[in-house]
Structure 1
Amino acid sequence: MSRIAIIAGQGALAPAVAACLDDPLAFALPGFAPDGLTATTFQLERLVPFLDDLHAKGVTRVVFAGAIRRPRLDPEAFDPRTAQLVPRILTAMQSGDDAALRTVLDIFEENDLTVCSVSEIAPELIPAEGILSGEPTDADRRDAGRAARILAQTGPLDLGQGAVVAQGLCLALETLPGTAAMLDFAARHADLRPNPKGARGVLYKAPKPGQDLRIDLPTLGPDTVDQAVSAGLAGIAWAAGQVILLDRPEMVRRAQAAGLFLWAAGGLD
């Protein structure tokens, strides 16, 4: 029987994906275990034997779910077959995270494992175009459009997947520390808005241009709503059909309570 394996990372995404599967198998690198989901640990230094083990368990498809940073590799831990992949992996890592992720996907597929997107396994986690809470003003829509254009330009530089724009000005750009750090920065510099009584600003999230949408999609959750409220923003917008929402009902509840809009936007870039 064909089975699906979850290559899990930190956070709540892997458990959310597992809840959509009848008989999930979950695996994680050391130090990157997901929240609330039991996952078997595997070593990147023994990647080829791990792929063999997936086949032995009847796995034909895999889905990547959760946050993983570049692990430290132990040169002495490589088995002979995985060691042959090291130059290829290191070259990709030197080209940035996107190149490294694409190389990992290629290796899985070269070993007869189909890489699925979260949208295939759990489409309900990725909302289509529409407004889930509140109503963005014309100024909010312009700020979201400005943020989308900023990300379209910074994406090829392999930076983050989010930006905060208020009154046409970029208050913060997501980099390696992540969304929470970006929103904390925006909160601490809220006084930079030219008009204190003008548009309060928008958090916008989207994949990088050309990104493989099977892996590393932007993710928003209830904590993001709380952080956006703390930053004094008017709302959160994102690329429709390309961003994961964790616990959507709770996100909407918190947004409505705070008067924050949530908008899956289409065609901004």
Structure 2
Amino acid sequence: MAEAAARAETGTGPVAIVAGAGRLPLLIAASLDRAGRACRVLAIRGFADPATRRRADATVDLLDVRGALETLCAWAPAGVTLAGAVARPSPAALLNTMAAYRNREALRSLASGGDDHLLRGVLALLEEHGLQVLGVRDLAPDLMAPAGRFGRVSPDEAAEASVASGRALLAGLSPHDVGQAAVVASRRVLAVEGPEGTDRMLARARALARRPLGLGRPPAAMVLVKRAKDGQDLRVDLPAIGPRTVKRAAQAGCLGIAVGAGDTLVLDRPETVALADRLGLFLLGLPADSLPPDPESPR
């Protein structure tokens, strides 16, 4: 543990990527490779994609807290980043019952409360072992949304008004840990993201916006707005969009997507932008001064 703390202090050692589902772990690894920074990947069994598992330097069970910490401390990394989706520990996730029993006290603490409680618990556990947690935007800023328009399509005045309404709505909901996204048409709120995630929220918005059998037109100036919650620890919980988000937003009837510039991941950015252009959706990065600060980010 002392060695891990020393490496974090001096900035030497590799960056450790704790990898869950999706392409983000490999995108971060590729960005670090381009920057000439060494990295090692710790894949979470049952969640990490096959390509990530092939790239991984080690693999652990979701509930093997001790094994994960021992591996990370042995690597003595300059920092650790958490990337990719994982499910909250549940009976269905008990792939290694001995690991779950051995770590039962830590798991009991992490599994109680909401998502913010869970993330704070994970951060505290890592930091107690001398591991510095770094955010994706600190390690791979090229993966973040830029400010302003980043496709060919521009929002009209009505769409900009919807974006402003959505941004104000999400700011008001931030203290309640509700979600990071909403679908708004002018001043009408069609859907707010809950635990089900953005894709399912867009499906609900599509159902509410159209008559049965998908007939009829969506409401005017319908947009998707996604941004970080106030006080959100952006080292471990970033909003994200990608090609699938663009496709689902178009299917729901949205004219475009507005996200927090510098605080929202854009996965597979060239493909995301090309698809938005092809479908006629605008992509807009909201100015940084409209977003919450990240007090935990390393200076």
Selected match of 2:140 from 122, 137, 157: 122
Equivalent residue of 1:85, what SS?
helix
In the other structure, the counterpart of 1:233 is 254
Q: Which residue of 1 aligns with 2:32?
A: 21
Q: Which residue matches 1:37?
A: 52
Partner amino acid, structure 2, of 1:236: I
Residue 10 (structure 1) aligned to one of 9, 21, 44: 21
Which letter does structure 1 place at the counterpart of 2:185? A
Q: Which residue of 1 aligns with 2:118?
A: 100
The answer to whether the 8 Å contact 1:130/1:264 transfers is yes
TM-score (ref. length: structure 1): 0.88
- 2:45/2:62 contact within 8 Å kept: no
Name 2:204's counterpart in structure 1.
185
Matching residue's letter, 2:171: A
Q: Does structure 1 residue 53 correspond to structure 2 residue 75?
A: no
1:42/1:55 CA distance change after superposition, 3 Å: same
The answer to whether the Cα contact below 8 Å between 1:17 and 1:118 also exists between their aligned partners in 2 is yes
Post-superposition offset of 1:98: 0.6
Given the alignment, which residue of 154, 162, 172 partners 1:143?
Answer: 162
Identify the range of structure 1 (120-129 vs 198-207) with the bigger mean alpha-carbon deviation: 198-207
Give the whole-Å Cα distance in 2 for the aligned partners of 1:261 and 1:78.
Answer: 46
Q: Distance in 1 between matches of 2:270 and 2:184?
A: 26
Contact 2:135–2:236 (8 Å) recurs in 1:
yes
- Which of structure 1's runs of 4+ aligned residues deviate more than 4 A? 73-76, 195-198
Q: Report the alpha carbon displacement of residue 132 of structure 1 after superposing the two structures with TM.
A: 0.8
Deviation at 1:6, TM superposition (A): 0.8
Judge conservation of contact 1:140–1:234 (CA < 8 Å) in 2: yes
Aligned length: 263
Amino acid at match of 2:237: D
Corresponding position: 1:77 with 2:96: no
Structure 2 runs not aligned, ≥5 long:
1-11, 292-299
Amino acid aligned to 1:173 = V
Task: Look up the match of 2:187.
Answer: 168
Tell me, yes or no, if the aligned pair for 2:32 and 2:39 is still in contact at 8 Å.
yes
CA–CA distance in structure 2, aligned partners of residues 86 and 182 of structure 1: 29
Q: After superposition, what is the alpha-carbon deviation per residue over 1:218-242, rounded to whole angstroms, capped at 9, x for unaligned?
A: 1100111111111111100011111
Is the alpha carbon distance of 1:104 and 1:191 closer, same or farther for their aligned partners in structure 2, counting shifts above 3 Å? same
Rounded Cα–Cα distance in structure 2 between residues aligned with 1:178 and 1:205? 11
- The percentage of counterpart residues that share the same residue type is 38
| Match of residue 154 from structure 1 | 173
Q: For 1:131 and 1:206, how far apart are their aligned partners in 2?
A: 16
- Cα distance in 2 for residues equivalent to 1:187 and 1:115: 38
**Per-residue CA distance 1:33-59 (angstroms, 9 max, x = gap):** 136312433135432342122222232
CA contact (8 A) 2:259 2:286 kept: yes
SS at match of 1:20: helix
**1:150-181, Cα deviation, whole Å (9 max, x unpaired):** 22232322222110001211111111221111
Structure 1 residues 87 and 66: alpha-carbon distance in aligned structure 2, compared to 1, 3 A threshold = closer
Q: 2-side partners of 1:263 and 1:128: how far apart? A: 8
Q: For structure 1, which runs of at least 5 residues remain unmatched after alignment?
A: none
Q: Deviations over 1:55-86 (max 9, x none)?
A: 22232311111111202265753475x45534
- Distance of 2:282 and 2:194 partners within structure 1: 24
Q: For residues 108 and 245 of structure 2, what CA distance do their matches in structure 1 show? A: 38
The residue matched to 1:6 in structure 2 has which SS? strand
Partners of 1:50 and 1:191 in 2: CA distance: 47
Deviation for aligned residue 1:88: 3.5
Q: 1:264 aligns with which of 285, 288, 292?
A: 285
1:252 correspondence with 2:273: yes
Which is helix-richer, 1 or 2?
Answer: 2
Give the TM-score taking structure 2 as reference length: 0.80
